[in-house]
Each structure stands twice: as structure tokens, then as C-alpha cells.
Chain A
Amino acid sequence: MRAIKKYLIDNLGIICALAGMILFLYLWPATHATFLTQTNIFNVLRQSSTNLMLACGMTMVIILGGIDLSVGSIIAMSGVLGAATVVWGGMPEILGILVALLSGLIFGLFNGLVIALTSIPPFIVTLASMNIAKGIAYVYSGGRPIRCMTNAWKFLGAGYVGSIPTPVITMTIVFVAAILILNRTRTGRHIYAVGGNNTAAKFSGINTAKVKFFVYSFSGLMAGLAGITIASRLYSGTCTSGDGAEMDAIAAVVVGGTSMAGGSGKLGGTLIGVLIIGILNNGLNLMGVNSDWQYIIKGAVILLAVYVDFLRSTKKAK
């Protein structure tokens, strides 16, 4: 009970924003009939699912004081590699999924290794791997989508378990796992410690390299999972999928109240951040807003959400 109360108070600003958006879309005549239907709710969740997966990894990365720009490209690469394994290699779907996950994990391991062992800034390291991953996707597919239409392939992104879309289930599992890691393990505390004060963490006997290695690997794995989920939903591995996905994930994390300076932040906030961005996209579509305009509105809403949070935190500090 106390935990729930604390959660509500900590995230008051963004919860109000979320509730306001929901209320608005429910009352707005053009969206009243469609917005709160089961189909549309699952629609929102399905569209948000991959962003939440990325955002779980990204929250850890940002708490660690870093950034992971490569996740969007990893989505394209892992989708292409997974689909190619099945379509061109004639392998079973499960192997395609594993290849996709593995390719994401390998890129995460690579990011983590370089960031842990050198002092090259994460921004640069992941900028490089972002380009490499994108390049692999293009080179491997020749720039064309690799279509895969089998039912087993569709299950992960477009299928259902009972009446619930599969990606919603995947997203829930991932979210719970991430919460457990961050809040209930020593590694979780160490992530906060390294992000809060790297030198202090070293003095505390924390293996900072190991922590960084773990976090970036996790983020890479999440990108691989998101990649295969999207490829399944689109029935194809496409080298343009995941374009800009890293920015949506970063936006969700920041809107959720995690500081870009590192050392603090909560996954609970990230969840709301993901929902805000998901509902925003969905609502603008339902309202028939031109997609060019959607960018501008999205940007403004992100800035507003972060600004409200900024006001709250400066008030608290006084």
C-alpha cells in the first residue's frame, strides 16, 4: 500500500498527463467511440510493446549514466538475420528467433566490452555500432524486405495467447524481469552506484566494468527481442524497421523521470513514459492528424512533460 502511494506521488505529474490524455481522447467526439474499446487498447499495447522492451534496457543504460543509440539499428539487423535464417536457410522458426536474439546480444556485448574497457564515451561507441548494425542489415538483405508468412513466424508479433496479443505478454515478462533486476538484485544497486558516482563505486569494491558490460548486453538483447517481434508483426525482416526507435525509447525513459545525468530513475516511470508516447501516437492517428504534424506534436508533448517534471523537482529542492 505504502509502495503504491509513493509510486503515485513520485510520478504525479506524468500520471496526470497520462490520465488527461486518456480523458481527452475518450471525450473527443471523433475518438469517443473507438478509443476505449478492447481492440484499440490492445492495439496501443501491441504498438507500445517493443518500445517498452527497448525502454527497459535504456532505463538501465541511462541510470548507468550512458546512452545506447544502437538499439534502433539492431532491430533492423536482428529482424533481417532472423527472417533470412528461416526463409533462405530453411531452418525452423525457433532458430530464426534465436539468431535474432543472439545477434542483438552480440552487439550489446560488443558495446558493453568497449565501454567497460575503454574510456570512449558510450554515445560514440553506440553511434558506431548503430551504423555497423544498420549496414549489416542492408548488406545482408540487399535492401529488400525478406518476407516470411508462416503462422509460427507470425506468432511472436501478430499472434495471440487466448485473447491477449503475444507481444503484450512478452512485454510484461520483460518488464517484470527488468524490475526484479533493478530493484531486487545486488547488480541492480550497483547500476545505481556506478551511474551515481563511478569512482565511489570503484572505492566500494564494485566491479564497474562488469556492471557496464551487463547493462549494455541487456540493452542489446532487448533490441534483438524487439527486432524479432517487429519482424514477426510485419511478416518480414526489413532494413528500415526500427528507424528512430532509439529516440522513442530515450524519450519514454526521460518522460518517465529518469535523469540523463545518471544515478537515479525508476522503471515505473518508464512504463508511464512508454504509455504516454504510445497513446499519443494512437490518439493522433485516431484523430486523423497528418503524420507530418505528428512529429511536431510529439516533440512538444515530450518537452512539456519533462518541463513539468523539472518544475516539480526544482520546487522540491527548495
Chain B
Amino acid sequence: MSEYLLEMRNINKSFPGVKALQNVDFQLKSGEVHALLGENGAGKSTLIKVLGGIYNAEQGEIFINGSQVTIKNVSDARSNGISIIHQELVLVPHMTVAENIFLGREISGKFGIEGNKMRRESQKMLDRFDLGIDAGELVGNLSIAQQQMVEIVKAISFNCKILVMDEPTSSISDREVKALFDIMRNLTAQGVGIIYISHKMSELNEVCDRVTVLRDGTYVGTRVVKETPREELIHMMVGRELSSYYVRDHVENTETILKCEHIDDNRKTKKRVNDVSFEIHKGEIVGFAGLVGAGRSETMECIFGLTPNFTGDIILDGQKLNIKTPVDAMNAGIAMVPEDRKLDGLYLVQSVSFNSTIEVLREFIKNLRVNHNREREITQEFIDKMHTKTPSLEQTVGNLSGGNQQKVMIGRWLATNPKILILDEPTRGVDVGAKVEIYEIMNDLTKQGVSIIMISSELPEIINMSDRVYVMYEGRLTGCINWQNLSQEAIMKLATQEN
């Protein structure tokens, strides 16, 4: 028996024009959670895809339990006990949990598919982790977190020894993260090795044993998580000293620019905004904290004109606004970068240029004339301002990394010259380097007089970037905290209303 459950040696893989992996080594022990860290484009996904048989490496060897294996395709990977849970869920929403778990290898007997048997088997597996999910439920009816659990159960049902999880916590709430970590510990206790990819540094300490860092397709190093300070890991990832992680020059007692009073969504069912009043000062970053579903995004949707029947007063610069549609909000100087950039924000099949200028077409399309030079100028201006990394203005946005997609999104809204910029989860799925850049940009913007409303579920981000924080709980504002008094405990107390 070898020391390592999995060993990858000297892996090389290149794509036209890019060396995606160069002599990368990786070792996984049985029963450990091993984090794979690196900025987007560092080669994490490529390495995982080589392991999973989606890509074939040009060079390199893979050993499992000390014996060499060849992984040419997905079924090779599977028969070697490797399961991958991808970032995007790949369940069929219109099928039941059991049907999803047995998708592609349905149990069939003499009389066709044996639905009941599949259901019983699935339920047994689900109960092993005490998940409280019914195997007969349609997947579409489950929460994202529950779907994630189903993915994991599905992966384990292949009798996997090596489980890869690609950013599993990017779309679930803190409480659900805890349940996920419990399952992971349960698995490692059974000898499974887990490779864990995440951008959230805070999760490393909680759940990971060792960490391997990749940068620009090369192996940087492997450390034991408990013995390594966070700064060192960040340094390993970005390859340069970051002056500081969070950049914020706090402001205080500036004039009020936006005042929202008694905002209410007037929904009969699923009411999420209940008499919310707050104000924003010039050049401030105001955080909105709360649990998932507390009504933060919904409040902003009212202000941005996406909720038709809302009531309440919105007063910007002393003038009362009548906002019925997003166009009204934009004309008044309010911009909003939505939470889910892929779903609500970007045109993934279109170019960077198309995505950057869709709000400001007026500036270069007039009387059947398209001024392409002006279009390029605008695009370039915001690429420069946001430090977006893209090979060309015509690059398809879907092919950019998460951080760069987010920069394109923010840049698009800056093109409208907003007074109030609403950012909903601005750094979700964004790597560390780009995160710091986004913080810097936010700080710069406030210096130019823009006020920023930031909704975020990452408490460290809220605590370190905000001048003031409003906390919401079940559609109501439960408090406001100044930056001097911010702490995780203070926020969580207001966010859960537990004493």
C-alpha cells in the first residue's frame, strides 16, 4: 500500500497558445480533504479535467494506490473510483431524486425499469447522511443546497474513493455549508479522499487538511493548512505581495444622497420587503447583510424598478423619484449589478464589446449609423478602468474567467455614470487577485463621489469594506451598525434575531 491514495506526476497539458499545465504534481492521501487553490486560469480546472478523463494530458503519470493507471475518458475515471461534482449542477430538474441518482445506469428487471427498487436504494443512501430528503421528490423542488447534497450522494453511489468538489459552497447559505462540511467529514472518516476547490479562504481552516497551490499552470507548493498563515497562501497564489486584502478609506458624516422610506413590495404571498427605510450618504459603501432570503436583493429590485407594485418614497439628491421601470432608475442615476451574473447579467454568447456597451448604445448608434470607433473607445475605456483581462474586444464573454466577467459587468454600469451603484454579491465566484482589484475599484469610485450599496453574504467582506451596515431579517430591517462597531457576532445577532 502506498502512502498516497492518488498521485499525479509531471502533468503537462497545453491548448493552442497556452500551456495550461506544466509539470504539475499532486498527491492526495486517503481520508483527507485537500484544497486546490489558485486564481482563475491557474490550471485547477484543467488538472481536475485531466483527472476526470475529460482532457487527456500530453505527458504525465497518474497512480492510484501506488499502481499506475491510464485515464482516457470519463468511464475510465469512474471505474478508478474518481467522481467529480462540477460547479454547475448537472441534475435533471423534472426527474426525481432517485431517477437522477441512477441516471444512465437504471436498475431494470424482467419488466423494465424497477422504479421502486431504485427509490429504496436511493433512500438508503440519503439516510446514511441523515439528509431528510425524500428520494421520490422532484429535484426541481429542492433547494440549491439540497440539490448539491443529491449530487454528492450520486457521486458516492459510484463507489468513489476520490471525490472532487468544484466550488460547492458558491451558491448555498452558511447553515447549509455546515451540513455540507459534516458530510465531508463523514466521508473522510470512511477513507474517501476529497479534493476541494474554493475561493473562500475562510473555509480552508474549517474543513481542509492540506492545500496545494497552483499559479499560471505550474505547481507552487503544498502546505498543511493549520500551520500556514493566510497571507502566505495568498502570496503563493498571486505571486506578489498584496498591500492589503481589503482596501477602504472610511468616510463619515457626508451629506445624504439617497433616502428610501417605507419601501414595501406589496406581495400577498412570499412577501420579502416589509416597510424598509434607510439612507445612503455620498461616497459611502453601505453593506446589506442578512441570511439568504432576508429580502436584501428584493429591496434593491424595488429601488431599481424591477418590482411593479412596490410602494414607498425614493428621494435622490432631494428629489422624489417616480421609479416604475429600470429605465427610470437608470435615468435617475441608479445602477445595479445583479447577483447572478450569468443568469441575470451577461450575454454569454456575445463579445466583451457588446456586453460593455449595451446600456449606452445611444452614444454611438444614431440614425442608422454605428460609430464603431466610439464603440471600441467606450469598451476600451472600461476595460482599462476595471483592469479587465481579455485577449480582444471581440472575445466571447462566456470564455472569460469569473473575475473578468464580473469586471465587464461592473464596467458596463459605470458607463452610465451612476450616482448610486448597487452591487449584489460583487465577488461571488471571483478569484483572490480579481477580488482585491474589485475592492480597490470600489474604493476609488467612492472617492469620485459614487455611493455604493453592497449586498454580500461574505461577512469578512461586509465588515472590512462597509462604512455602515444594514441588517435584514425576514423582509425587515433589524438594525444599522457603524464600521467602528462591526463584528461577525453583532451582525449575526441582528440577522438571526436570536439573543
Q: How far is the CB of A18 from chain B (nearest CB, A)?
A: 25
Those of A175-208 within 8 Å (CB) of chain B = 180, 183-186, 189, 192-193, 196-197, 199-200, 202-207
Q: Which of B349, B359, B370 has the most CB of A within 10 A?
A: B349
CB <8 Å contact, A192 and B365: no
- Given A184-B369, A184-B370, A199-B344: A205 and B350 interface contact (C-beta under 8 Å): no
Beyond A180-B368, A189-B365, A203-B345, 20 additional pairs, beta carbon < 8 A: A184-B369, A189-B361, A192-B347, A192-B350, A193-B347, A193-B350, A196-B349, A197-B347, A197-B348, A199-B343, A200-B338, A200-B343, A200-B346, A202-B326, A204-B358, A205-B329, A205-B359, A207-B325, A263-B349, A264-B350
Those of A302-318 within 8 Å (CB) of chain B = 318
Bound complex: CA of A239 vs CA of B69, how far in Å? 68
Bound complex: CA of A144 vs CA of B304, how far in Å? 57
Q: How far is the CB of B56 from chain A (nearest CB, A)?
A: 12
Say whether B336 faces chain A, with CB atoms less than 8 Å apart: yes
- A184 contacts across to B, CB distance below 8 A: 365, 368-370
List 5 A-B pairs, minimum CB-CB distance, nearest first. Answer: A196-B347, A205-B326, A205-B327, A186-B361, A199-B344
- B368 contacts across to A, CB distance below 8 A: 180, 184-185
Bound complex: CA of A196 vs CA of B304, how far in Å? 22
- B345 contacts across to A, CB distance below 8 A: 197, 200, 203
Q: How far is the CB of A221 from chain B (nearest CB, A)?
A: 19
- A204 contacts across to B, CB distance below 8 A: 326, 358-359, 412
Say whether B362 faces chain A, with CB atoms less than 8 Å apart: yes
CB <8 Å contact, B326 and A200: no
Those of A106-132 within 8 Å (CB) of chain B = none
Bound complex: CA of A116 vs CA of B412, how far in Å? 26
CB <8 Å contact, B325 and A196: no
Nearest-neighbor residue (CB-CB) of A198 within chain B: B344
Say whether B306 faces chain A, with CB atoms less than 8 Å apart: yes
Name B306's contact: one of A183, A196, A202, A207 (CB within 8 Å): A202
Name B365's contact: one of A186, A263, A264 (CB within 8 Å): A186
Q: How far is the CB of B343 from chain A (nearest CB, A)?
A: 6
CB <8 Å contact, A183 and B370: yes
Give the secondary structure class of B's interface.
Answer: mixed
Number of B interface residues in the complex (CB < 8 A): 28
Q: How far is the CB of A218 from chain B (nearest CB, A)?
A: 16
CB <8 Å contact, B326 and A203: yes
Q: Which residues of A contact B (CB under 8 A)?
A: 180, 183-186, 189, 192-193, 196-197, 199-200, 202-207, 259, 261, 263-264, 318
CB <8 Å contact, A189 and B349: no
Q: How far is the CB of B267 from chain A (nearest CB, A)?
A: 18
Name B327's contact: one of A199, A207, A259, A318 (CB within 8 Å): A207
Q: How far is the CB of A63 from chain B (nearest CB, A)?
A: 10
Bound complex: CA of A18 vs CA of B368, how far in Å? 31
Bound complex: CA of A197 vs CA of B409, how far in Å? 14
Contact with A along B290-308 (1 / 0, CB 8 A): 0000000000000010100
Bound complex: CA of A178 vs CA of B354, how far in Å? 19
Say whether B330 faces chain A, with CB atoms less than 8 Å apart: yes
- A261 contacts across to B, CB distance below 8 A: 349
Q: How far is the CB of A15 from chain B (nearest CB, A)?
A: 21
CB <8 Å contact, A193 and B327: no
CB <8 Å contact, A196 and B350: yes
Q: How many A-B residue pairs have CB under 8 A?
A: 71
Bound complex: CA of A60 vs CA of B361, how far in Å? 19
Those of B330-368 within 8 Å (CB) of chain A = 330, 336, 338, 343-350, 354, 358-359, 361-362, 365, 368
Q: How far is the CB of A206 from chain B (nearest CB, A)?
A: 8
Nearest-neighbor residue (CB-CB) of A197 within chain B: B347
Q: How far is the CB of A124 from chain B (nearest CB, A)?
A: 18
CB <8 Å contact, A263 and B338: no
Bound complex: CA of A20 vs CA of B361, how far in Å? 40
Name B358's contact: one of A185, A189, A202 (CB within 8 Å): A189
Those of B402-433 within 8 Å (CB) of chain A = 412
Nearest-neighbor residue (CB-CB) of A261 within chain B: B349
Nearest-neighbor residue (CB-CB) of B412 within chain A: A204
CB <8 Å contact, A203 and B348: no
Nearest-neighbor residue (CB-CB) of A263 within chain B: B349
Q: How far is the CB of A208 from chain B (nearest CB, A)?
A: 11
CB <8 Å contact, A193 and B358: yes
Those of B356-400 within 8 Å (CB) of chain A = 358-359, 361-362, 365, 368-370
Bound complex: CA of A133 vs CA of B338, how far in Å? 42
22 A-B pairs whose Cβ atoms sit less than 8 Å apart in the complex: A180-B368, A184-B368, A185-B365, A185-B368, A186-B365, A189-B358, A189-B365, A192-B350, A193-B350, A193-B358, A197-B343, A197-B347, A199-B344, A200-B338, A200-B346, A202-B306, A203-B306, A203-B326, A203-B344, A205-B359, A207-B325, A263-B350
- A193 contacts across to B, CB distance below 8 A: 347, 350, 358
- A207 contacts across to B, CB distance below 8 A: 325, 327
Bound complex: CA of A157 vs CA of B168, how far in Å? 62
Bound complex: CA of A259 vs CA of B330, how far in Å? 31
Q: How far is the CB of A106 from chain B (nearest CB, A)?
A: 27
Nearest-neighbor residue (CB-CB) of B361 within chain A: A186
Contact with A along B305-335 (1 / 0, CB 8 A): 0100000000000000000011101100000
Contact with A along B82-108 (1 / 0, CB 8 A): 000000000000000000000000000
- B306 contacts across to A, CB distance below 8 A: 202-203
Nearest-neighbor residue (CB-CB) of B359 within chain A: A204
CB <8 Å contact, B354 and A203: no
Q: How far is the CB of B228 from chain A (nearest CB, A)?
A: 37
Nearest-neighbor residue (CB-CB) of A196 within chain B: B347
Contact with A along B242-261 (1 / 0, CB 8 A): 00000000000000000000
Those of B8-25 within 8 Å (CB) of chain A = 15
Name B347's contact: one of A180, A259, A263 (CB within 8 Å): A263
- B15 contacts across to A, CB distance below 8 A: 318
- B365 contacts across to A, CB distance below 8 A: 184-186, 189
Q: How far is the CB of B436 from chain A (nearest CB, A)?
A: 26
Bound complex: CA of A207 vs CA of B306, how far in Å? 12
Bound complex: CA of A200 vs CA of B359, how far in Å? 11
Bound complex: CA of A30 vs CA of B304, how far in Å? 67
- A318 contacts across to B, CB distance below 8 A: 15
Q: How far is the CB of B195 from chain A (nearest CB, A)?
A: 24
Bound complex: CA of A154 vs CA of B8, how far in Å? 76
- A205 contacts across to B, CB distance below 8 A: 325-327, 329-330, 359
CB <8 Å contact, B346 and A189: no
Q: How far is the CB of A83 from chain B (nearest CB, A)?
A: 35
CB <8 Å contact, B344 and A200: yes
Q: How far is the CB of A202 from chain B (nearest CB, A)?
A: 7
CB <8 Å contact, B336 and A203: yes
Q: Which of B329, B350, B362 has the most CB of A within 10 A?
A: B350
Q: How far is the CB of B324 from chain A (nearest CB, A)?
A: 12
- A200 contacts across to B, CB distance below 8 A: 338, 343-347
- A196 contacts across to B, CB distance below 8 A: 347-350
Bound complex: CA of A259 vs CA of B15, how far in Å? 26
- B361 contacts across to A, CB distance below 8 A: 186, 189
Nearest-neighbor residue (CB-CB) of B345 within chain A: A200
- B330 contacts across to A, CB distance below 8 A: 205
- B362 contacts across to A, CB distance below 8 A: 186
- A264 contacts across to B, CB distance below 8 A: 349-350
